[in-house]
Structure 1
Amino acid sequence: MQPPPQPPPRSGPPPGPPDVALSTGAVARHLGVSPNTLRSWERRYAIGPARREGGRHRRWSPQDIARLELMCRLTAQGVPPAEAARAALDAAPAARAASGAPHPAPGGPGPLRLGEVRPECRGLARAAVRLDAPSVAELLDTALAEHGLVTAWEEIIAPTLHAVGRTWASAGERYVEVEHLLSWHVSAAMHRLRPPPAAPHPAAPPVLLACVPDELHSLPIEALAAALGERGLPVRMFGAALPARALRDAVRRTGPRAVVLWSQTRTTADAALARSVADIEWGLRGARGRPALLLAGPGWGAGAPQPRAERLFGLRSGLEVIAALAADAAPTNGAGRAGPAAYGS
């Protein structure tokens, strides 16, 4: 399962505050903080919007948002919130704009270059760069609740992870802490998703998910495991860097309907291991089973898949392939379960 390709980052200064008055939720997404944080700042430090509709609904103007951006930048640099709020309230956004200088964006050592992305993605990136763990957790939970796991992964979470990875890869050790914090919270958010009650047939063969040996990047198959759980499909998740012998033993012990092997880089992809997993059989003579082997991740390259294997590309399409495997009632080629050849590989 390979994350969808991302558009190239745009050059130039980061975008300034929006030109229209926004709701509290929209401002929170823009800044990468939670709506509760904005309300708390308004109560404690009087750094609220100047305009309300009907006396109740807050509408944040560009000047209001500029003050909040300055407060976010100052708190990211270690300034206490009360002092940062006073400085932001005393500042003159109009004078800064008239000077022609680009407005500073919140976020520690500098903003991530994201290109054309959803506002939720930009807000999540800003919160991650600030190392604002509570906001990262809340923004992830909100994205998953509002958009569902697949859309949240493909349009919000994965683009942010790609941007962090590109930045630290080109900037030495900078931003490594951002990637670690964001990755941990993404994993935790997916673990918080509650699968539906067990299906009526708990003995149905599971889908086995594992990274190849030496592969430590497991977030994409964690997303796949959560998505399969949402559909009520049984899953056995073994995570990062599963040793080859342990992988083969797990396949023999569980008799899975499919095995998904994730490889992030060419250096970890192991064609010999893939072939050995595809050759594993179990059961009585004359009625042996064999798993469908699904190779996921960019490490496997763009060439033809291994014999008796199929490639997965993206969470959404990979989920559909596995769901079809679970529901398929095609002839089993004498192997007790349909082999990968029945699914277009």
Structure 2
Amino acid sequence: MGATRRPGHTRRNDTDAALTTGSVARRLGVAPTTLRSWERRYGIGPADREQGRHRRWTAVDVRRVEEMCRLTALGVPPAEAARVALREAEAEAEAPRPARHGGGRTTLTLTLPLGNVRQECRGLARAAVRLDAPAVESQLRSTLGEYGFTTGWEEVMAPALHAVGRKWASSGERYVEVEHLLSWHVSSALRRTAHAAASEGASRSAPPVVLACVPGEQHTLPMEALTAVLGERGLPTRMFGAALPAEALYEAVRRIGPSAVVLWAHSRNTADRALVHLVAEAEWGVRGARTHPAVLVAGPGWSPTAGAYAPGVERLTGLRTAADRIESLLAV
């Protein structure tokens, strides 16, 4: 459904639409407090304000602060960056900005392959490229607060991580610091917020779900996201992190007696058929009434025909569907 125009009113196009400070912050990966500070100290902010309304950012205003971000990321002092941005943004307002090739991080900001994603994802990626840890933290806090774990992971955090990872993989060892910084902050945000959600919502008495990365597997973030979503739903979990040895996993399963075990493998080299058999055959309980866990495999390393690993083994795809399937198992 489209908006109804008032008589005599000319609608702005998307490039000239006025934005709130929060929208600009999400788009550029800058904390709202930083934008307000720059406006107060250096005059980098929205030029006009309608009577009785909050200030709105026009396309020219956004170009100024975008230039400020670019220059400060290159190490230019904020006061000098503001002077340059104010001088240059107006001249560039009517023409596309050419790509600058003076530094690696600037080129990455302009060419990071994100595709069709939310503005929050673009803001998070840009903040990571600038190595702006406070802005990354602010973006993550805002994303999880507004969208929750599932949408926040699938539509903001995961696409940003994949884009940074692809850029790193295609550029040798360049930009590895960007990937590490973003991964660390995503992990911290997931654990911190998940702990709070689990403390409020964990109320079920069902046996917990064990989540672990297979031996040799260091990619833990998807499992951390799943742990967070399950905790948000009040489901009990035991997360063992990266590269858990097979013997340790087997003993943990026997000691805990979980309702389900989720094994993550990012690559085919770490997806171990023998480990799936070992976990599926683990049992506990009194003689004559022993119990086995449901075994679920997740990650691109596993074959789509997961049942070939052992009878009853299922392959999970997607965070939301994975959480739904696990919740259904615990409800039985």
TM-score of the superposition, structure 1-length normalised?
0.85
Matched AA of 2:23: A
Higher relative contact order (CA 8 A, sep 6+): 1
SS at match of 1:114: coil
2:11 counterpart of 1:21: no
Tell me which residue corresponds to 2:139: 139
- The Cα shift of 1:56 comes to 4.4
Tell me which residue corresponds to 2:260: 258
Tell me which residue corresponds to 1:297: 299
Match of 1:63 among 47, 60, 64: 60
The verdict on how the C-alpha distance between 1:44 and 1:98 changes in structure 2, with shifts beyond 3 A counting, is closer
The verdict on how the C-alpha distance between 1:101 and 1:223 changes in structure 2, with shifts beyond 3 A counting, is closer
Tell me which residue corresponds to 1:243: 245
Superposed, which structure 2 residues align to 1:43-58 within 5 Å?
43-58=40-55
Identity over aligned pairs, percent: 63
- The Cα shift of 1:196 comes to 3.8
> CA–CA distance in 1 between the matches of 2:173 and 2:210?
35
Tell me which residue corresponds to 2:8: none
- The Cα shift of 1:302 comes to 2.6
> CA–CA distance in 2 between the matches of 1:294 and 1:304?
9
Deviates more, 1:190-199 or 1:156-165: 190-199
Tell me which residue corresponds to 2:280: 278
Tell me which residue corresponds to 2:221: 219
- The Cα shift of 1:81 comes to 1.3
> CA–CA distance in 2 between the matches of 1:50 and 1:261?
54
Equivalent pair of 1:206/1:235 in contact (CA under 8 Å): yes
SS at match of 1:57: coil
Superposition RMSD in Å: 1.9
1:60-87 deviation digits (Å, cap 9, x = unpaired): 1111111111100001001111211121
> CA–CA distance in 2 between the matches of 1:44 and 1:214?
50
Tell me which residue corresponds to 2:10: none
- The Cα shift of 1:29 comes to 1.1
Superposed, which structure 2 residues align to 1:94-243 within 5 Å?
94-97=90-93, 101-102=97-98, 108-111=106-109, 112-193=112-193, 194=196, 195-197=198-200, 199=202, 202=205, 204-243=206-245
- The Cα shift of 1:198 comes to 6.5
> CA–CA distance in 2 between the matches of 1:236 and 1:177?
30
Q: Count how many residue pairs are aligned between Structure 1 and Structure 2.
A: 310
Equivalent pair of 2:285/2:291 in contact (CA under 8 Å): yes
Matched AA of 1:268: T
- The Cα shift of 1:54 comes to 2.6
5+ residue gaps, structure 2: 1-13
- The Cα shift of 1:98 comes to 5.2
2:319 counterpart of 1:326: no
5+ residue gaps, structure 1: 1-16, 329-345
> CA–CA distance in 1 between the matches of 2:228 and 2:181?
20
> CA–CA distance in 2 between the matches of 1:244 and 1:304?
19
TM-score of the superposition, structure 2-length normalised?
0.89
1:165-186 deviation digits (Å, cap 9, x = unpaired): 1111111111211110000000
